Structure 1
Amino acid sequence: MSRFRAVWQASLNATRRALAWNIEDMMPPSEKFVFNFNSKEEVDKWHLYSDSEYGGLSSASLEISDSGAGLNGIFSGNLSTDVTEGSRWKINRSGFCGMRSKKFSGFIDLDAYDTIAMKLRGDGRCYISTIYTENWVNSPAQQEDNSWQAFVCVPKDQWHIVPLDQYLPTWRGNVIDAQLEMNPSRILGMSLSVNAEGGIPGARTGHGDFKLEIDWIKALRTS
């Protein structure tokens, strides 16, 4: 009798776990952490890039800092519009730096969410948020990931939660004039970048230092 009771209890527990999984799958939480910049391990999920790879003189770093209220990431550096003399690279412009998440083992599925939010403290510059998704074209002529971009303009020295619910499709930094829809269930990575020029009117531009403090990146369901 005790053996039957044990088998019955094990079956009941398995059923409960299955039901709990199904409910969570159908009704995901209203927000989901994508990245949390609260440890060196989290920062190690990103790599840096800049125009220095092509003969420019800009530089960038990504470190963990204690703001007093907890740990957060610091993306900082110097933007230079100069080019190394005699460089073999022929670039049209310099003055850009960025940080991009390393490849995931699979995809991030954000299909249940409609907004990307970031808790940031800026320096008056306008930054660019990019989401990379699986390439729907999937042809030998077009093998790069699809990229979707939105401006992130954060007032100087103020913490802000920035909702970004409308990204535009881009190709190598230029907006594509086409009716395309993002596939949020197949996200391959994200990036934040800054240019010496560009952005919205009133934003700080030009060569010089930049600094962006990053607490977290989340997906939100607002509707």
Structure 2
Amino acid sequence: MPLVEDNKCDLVLYTNPWSRGQIVRWMLEETGVAYRQVVLNYGEQMKTPAYLAINPMGKVPTLVHEGKVVTECPAICAYLADTFPEAALAPPFYDRAAYYRWLFFAAGPLEAAIVNRLLKVEVDEDQQKMVGYGSYDKAVAVLADAVSSAPYLLGEQFTAADVYVGSHVIWGMQFESLPKRPEFERYAKRLMERPAFLAAKAIDDRLGEALKNAAQA
């Protein structure tokens, strides 16, 4: 298991088990490299001067590697894929068109469409040209087509794009911010059977239970 308790480990994940840190943990487990974790509770622990010096947003996840700070889940996923090429989680540089396309589609138009819908922000037909996603239904349809054309977004190769986009699909259906379309269900099932996904989920489940028990003690 890549997660270690060695304080000398120079790859550090700042996270909370009930956060998007789950995405980064999955990505770390896919790389197979050793990392350690710093678990922060919501509230004061994420707003201390020491943590704000690392991530001024006061949010998790944050990755620190050899003193370098990376925030934002798609950026962390891409960084890890590039930093540990032996894991084969990114295509060659000359063949990254679709890889970048879907990473940034999920980080931009798709997430904006989902968040606006959850916030009940209504975008009328005239306003659709002002938002990157056009309409929620359009963004969902594009995503469904992308995940149904092959086993993974880039065909037969699983990549960091699947970790990030797949997380949107898995948790989107879980929290009903995305519809349970057959295309999404097949794609999510395929991803959730991966050993790294299962390992990451087990860690966060145990961590979440421990935090819950500590709060009730």
TM-score by length of 2: 0.23
Instruction: Kindly indicate which of the two structures has a greater share of residues assigned to helix.
Output: 2
What TM-score, normalized to structure 1?
0.23
**Between Structure 1 and Structure 2, which shows a larger proportion of strand residues?**
1
Asked which structure has the greater CA Rg, the reply is 1
